[in-house]
Amino acid sequence: MKAYEFDEAVAVTPDDSGWSATVPDGWDINGNANGGYVMALGANAMRATGGRAHPLTVTAHYLAPVTPGPVAISADVVKQGRRFTTMTGSIRREGRELIRLLGAFGDLDPVTEQTYVEGGPPDVPPMDQCIRRTPVGGTAVVGLADRLNMWLHPDDAEALDDRPSGTGRTRGWFEFRDGRPIDTLGLLLAADSFPPAVFNIPDLIRGWVPTVEFTVHVRAIPSPGPLSCSFVTRFVTGGVLHEDGELWDSAGNLVAISRQYGLLAKS
């Protein structure tokens, strides 16, 4: 069986205090591990503890940046129900808590029918007409981009060169560069992999957008193939922003939605 980079990056090992893991290089932006990757790492330990295969809803509060190196992960069952197992999780290093998680885990089947969904997948041109995200963009060194294939909508991509579109939106395609199928754990990563939509709003400072809180709701197991994704920021007040995301699979099914509460970059 082929070993995929993401599976190795989120691997956890049981120990006397819960789980241990190593945050590797290359899943970062400017040296700090991507928030979606860190969420997936914690969720992997949580689902192993709870015995349920899929994260259905996961919320993470980011208390400190996570850099490459060893971490300890705890995962505790709050309630074991018929449909859901509710859990808490924590990622620590040398006793310092870096991430606190709360999630519900359960079972999912591939989409067979949808009862009511407004809208549809975002209007993204074919990949060969999009702009591929590279490891170096603007002032950021995006190691994450070496692990993924991300093609940005041409109207949204110029924000990386200080030419915002005027609308707080980022759209594009997502897949793993090594061909790994996108599962529900991969959705947690995908929901935080694109450039912030706020970069396309004129007259705002561009730079690091620290995440305070991030929630992903998983709706279905993705069909094989790339995801088409859309992220929108409509509210920037008091130095904070919200970004709402939609992730659609290759069959046109809504497979995840997300909301992120982040801090606006400072001068």
The pLDDT tens digits of the residues spanning 57-96 come to 999 999 999 999 999 999 999 999 999 999 999 999 999 9
In a domain, 117, yes or no: no
Q: How many CB atoms lie within 10 A of CB 188?
A: 30
Cβ count near 123 (within 10 Å): 10
What amino acid occupies position 225? G
**pLDDT for res 179:** 96
Residue 58 maps to a domain:
yes
Residue carrying the six token digits 């560069």: 177
Listed range (25-29, 110-114, 206-210, 246-250) with the worst mean pLDDT: 110-114
> Does the residue 189 lie in any domain?
yes
Q: 135: domain CATH number?
A: 2.40.160.210
- The strand pairing partners of 174, in sequence order, are 150, 227
Quote the domain boundaries for residue 233.
5-108+122-263
Distance CA 114, CA 110 (A): 11
Res. 138: pLDDT tops 60: no
Buried-exposed string 147-184: b where 16+ CB fall within 10 A, e elsewhere: bbbbbbbebbbebbeeebbeebbbbbbbbbeeebebbb
Structural domain total, the chain: 1
Q: What is the percent of the chain where pLDDT is above 90? A: 80
In a domain, 200, yes or no: yes
The reported pTM is 0.95
Kindly state whether residue 251 falls inside one of the protein's structural domains: yes
- Region 119-140: mean pLDDT is 83
